[in-house]
Amino acid sequence: MCGRFSMHTSLTKWCQLCCSDWIPDPTSCEVGPRYNLSPGQHANVCVRDNTDSPRIIRAMKWGITAEVHESSSSKVLHINARSESIESKKAFAECFRRNRCLVPVNGFFEWQSVGRKKQPYYFYSSGEGVFALAAIWKESSAVEPTQTSGNSFCIITTKADHVVSAIHNRMPVIVHPRFYEQWLDPSERDPFRVQELIQLSRGSTLRIRPVSRMVNQVSLDSVNCIMEISDPLRRKETQPRLF
């Protein structure tokens, strides 16, 4: 799964790097630099509302709320959706066909058990730049006081590649820049064609580094969350044995 990510590059820089025609949504508040963004919080998301609209950057809440069962009033917050089954799940199918979006990030986190503790690792692009995660979004009924947009999003995951699999068996889908327009196109509603974009986007150039366990606390959000530390797994492997 993907449970935390960072996005500290400015939206202006993101537009310069990725394409020039993104515009901010005037009804939405821009989310500032984040180094430890967690579920339930707002992030900048890139969408197209319809085929005639421009590509918009809009603040949305991370996590789509849906009923646990059709006959139940209980709800659960979905922060991830598996690419292999997304079009067959009631909570995601319609969004997958109509409401796809991109989540610009500088990197994301995964954890690996080290004894009784879990060590976080940060995955980032080879140039420390920005890349985009595949996601879906939906209109939410509730609007928070600090945000005029009640929309929410859910990140799509897939089987981990050779870099991420050393730590975790799942990873977010990273959309290749040449497929941004197709991924966002609301007129493309064939789930098989959309699934092809996921498969074509595989083959990332991610790098990995161990980071401080301070990222485990959602209240901590600073550049220290993504700074490299000495790898505790490597220290354990190289520790000399006395007997």
Spell out the domains of the chain, with CATH numbers in brackets: 5-238 (3.90.1680.10)
**88: how many CB neighbours lie within 10 A of its CB?**
10
pLDDT, one tens digit per residue, over 193-218 is: 999 999 888 766 899 999 999 999 99
Region 61-83: mean pLDDT is: 80
Question: In the chain, what percentage of residues exceed pLDDT 70?
Answer: 82
Q: What is the DSSP-derived secondary structure letter of residue 224?
A: G
- Secondary structure percentages of the chain, helix, strand, coil, to 5: 20, 35, 45
Higher pLDDT, 102 or 140: 102
Q: What one-letter code names the amino acid at 199?
A: Q
Give me the count of residues in the chain: 243
Residue 30's identity, in one-letter code, is: E
Least confident residue range of 26-35, 97-106, 131-140, 179-188: 26-35
What average pLDDT does range 182-186 have in this prediction?
A: 92
According to the model, what pLDDT value does residue 141 have?
A: 57
- Cα Rg, the chain, nearest whole Å: 18
Give pTM, 2 decimals: 0.88
pLDDT of 162 above 60: yes
Structure letter (DSSP) for residue 197: H
DSSP state of 15: H
Name the pLDDT band for 68 (thresholds 50, 70, 90): low
- Cβ–Cβ under 8 Å, residues 156 and 195: no
